[in-house]
Amino acid sequence: MFGWIKKGRMKREIIINSEKLEKRVAVLENGQIEEFQVEHPTEERIVGSIYKGRIQNLEHDLQAAFVDIGLKKNAFLHYWDMLPEDGGGDPDDENGRRRGSRNGRRRYSNEEIEKRFPAGSEIVVQVTKGPIGTKGPRVTASLSIAGRYMVLMPGASSKGVSRKIADDKERARLKKIVSALQLPPGVGCIVRTVAAGARKRSFLLDLRALLLSWEQLQTTMIEKKAPACLYSEPDLVERVVRDWLTEDVDRIVIDSRDDYERVRSIAQNISRRARGRVNHYDGALPVFDHYDVEKQIADIFKRKVNLKCGGCLVFDETEALVAVDVNTGRHKGSGSQEDAILEVNTEAVEEVARQLRLRNIGGLVVIDLIDMKYKRHQAAVYRAMKAALKRDRARINVLQISDLGIMEMSRQRAEESVQSLMYADCPYCQGRGTLKSSLSMSVEIQRQVSAIMRKGEGQKVLQVTVHPTVLDRLRREDEELLVQLEQKMGGGRLSFRSDPSCHAEAFAVRDGESGDVLYSTTESAQ
């Protein structure tokens, strides 16, 4: 298997850290992390799952239906995804999932949709995109079941080979094998990238397992009432063996005895050699520390990423867009300035491609490159990015560098980013990463105290409660202004006290005698 691939290029290892609450997988190439995934067994992973749902309502303006599949939020289903379409599978997608696009698909009128799928009717759908942020999952009626070498596509009849297999001879061999496979009427398939070099017998065994899964799925469709889950993808450990255990993997290391035995059993179905590459780790250090993975994972979540050439990248992520700024940093270069810029930009786009995989971020990605004078340099950087993106399993579309020096691209986003899975927004700054300065707070306090005075409260003693850092500013730098403000009160007096439990952006103004709150921000400690 995989005889057409050159061997000995680099050392490739899969490290699996399997614990009760979290499973993590890292793929190392010569010790550097190139792929990383994390999954929490206690939290349901729904991408790839098939549900029997119920149409809740049709939104003609959005050209979409909302489907109850038993989750907190209804699933979003485009009208053009409501009926399985032959040829809808994507040969570039590792799981054969549909693109979810209207391109090349029949458009149904609102009347046809209402007639076929009235509110309350049942429909079988598959999740193509999990809930992200405030959005619910996205689904399609075009189903697919992934095996190791093939993807079965009920509702289609075409047979294809992944475009990521570029070798013409290998493509011709695979097409010959897949054309001879006996599939039920109305069921198609796509050969996956990992199937390159596989024997015909491997396809037959894989097809047998896929058809069994499809038969079981058909049975549960009849037996279960909507909303219900009919089929779920295997857990992260099994998916790693199915999708990542290829001939160029030197070994798999697992720190869980149970998962070690399970992986060996699954690998045995691939080959005896694959089974022999599975190793159990029982060292004193955590497995990710032993292989120096933990330190590299910490770098994934840094906003600033340093490049070997001395330049750096700065990542800013929003819900739908990622902005990447490329800086020369300490890079000086040994040639001309243009050659130095080309070197930094080339390394930058290669590292951006790697970081997108590791962080699992997507949507729209905008890369602000260092301005290049020559078109040939721009073309070279574009080619470098295209080459670096070939190993990404997600669907990606990258555009040529614009006149403003911007590279724009889109990356398939099926699930939350790794950072969203492992981090929560800071409850103090609400995820902004910044707080108002003590100067801004001093200005706001003086503004509100003046407003209270104008309302006729100037004869009272006003007690202002603030955070200690704000009080320090008031005492050290703004005391004279506060004295002037107190003099304007005409007999009134200002009193300040600090409260560590008070939010740095909050304060409260009270009547010093009655204790009544005259003004309070929403986050002020009461």
What pLDDT does residue 445 have? Answer: 93
Domain range annotation of the chain: 12-42+237-294, 50-232, 303-422, 438-520
Q: To 10 degrees, the CA torsion angle through 480, 486, 488, 492?
A: -170
Instruction: Give residue 344's pLDDT.
Output: 93
CB 53 within 8 A of CB 75: yes
- Whether 91 and 108 have beta carbons less than 8 Å apart is answered as no
Beta-strand pair 493-498/461-466: parallel
Q: Could you give the CA distance from residue 68 to residue 189 in angstroms, rounded to a whole number?
A: 29
Picking from 1-15, 197-211, 291-305, 405-419, which range would have the lowest pLDDT averaged per residue? 1-15
Name the token pair of 304: 């600033």
Q: What is the pLDDT of residues 288-322, one digit of tens each?
A: 999 999 999 988 888 899 998 888 999 988 777 89
> Cα separation of 141 and 128, whole Å?
10
Where does the pLDDT of residue 8 fall: very low under 50, low under 70, confident under 90, or very high at 90 and above? very low
Of 25-29, 330-334, 416-420, 504-508, the range with the lowest mean pLDDT is: 330-334
Helix, strand or coil, per DSSP, at residue 337: helix
CA 118 from chain center: how many Å?
34
pLDDT at 524: 39
Confidence at residue 525, expressed as pLDDT on a 0 to 100 scale: 39
Mean pLDDT, rounded, for 152-165: 88
Burial bucket for residue 130 (CB in 10 Å: 0-12, 13-18, 19+): buried
The SS3 call for residue 71 is coil
Residue 245: what pLDDT? Answer: 86
Residue 181: how many other CB atoms lie within 10 Å: 15
pLDDT the model gives residue 34: 92
Does the structure show a pLDDT above 50 at 100? no
Give yes or no for a contact between 152 and 210, defined as CB atoms under 8 angstroms apart: yes
pLDDT, average across residues 1-13 = 56
CATH superfamily of 12-42+237-294: eRF1 domain 2 (3.30.420.60)
- Taking residues 399-419, report their average pLDDT: 88
β 23-29/159-161 pair status: unpaired
Residue 329 gets the label, from left (phi > 0), alpha (psi -120 to 50) or beta, of left
What's the CA gap between 275 and 264, in Å, rounded? 5
- Give the rounded percent of residues in the chain with a pLDDT score beyond 70: 91
CA 481/CA 390 separation, integer angstroms: 62
Q: Which of 221, 242, 241, 239 has the alpha carbon at shortest distance from 231?
A: 221
Fold entry, domain 438-520? Hypothetical Protein Ychn; Chain: A, (3.40.1260)
Beta bridge partners of 76: 66, 138
Adjacency order of strands within the sheet including 517-520: 493-498, 461-466, 508-511, 517-520
> What average pLDDT does this structure show over 510-516?
85
Two tokens, residue 132: 């992200």
Beta bridge partners of 98: 89
- Copy the structure tokens of residue 511: 């009547």
Per-residue pLDDT reduced to its tens digit, 171-204: 999 999 999 999 998 899 999 988 888 889 889 9
How many C-beta atoms surround the C-beta of residue 389 within 10 A?
21
Tokens of 157: 């009849």
Q: What per-residue confidence (pLDDT) applies to 93?
A: 56
Q: For 207-211, which contacts have Cβ atoms below 8 Å and span 24 or more sequence positions? A: 207/147, 207/150, 207/152, 207/181, 207/183, 209/147, 210/145, 210/147, 210/150, 210/152, 211/152, 211/184
Predicted confidence band at 332 (pLDDT cuts at 50, 70, 90)? low
The answer to whether 293 and 28 have CB atoms below 8 angstroms apart is yes
Read off the pLDDT of each residue in 257-262 and give the average, rounded to a whole number: 94
The residue with tokens 């485009």 is 78
Query: Interhelix angle for 236-244 vs 257-268, to 10°?
Result: 40
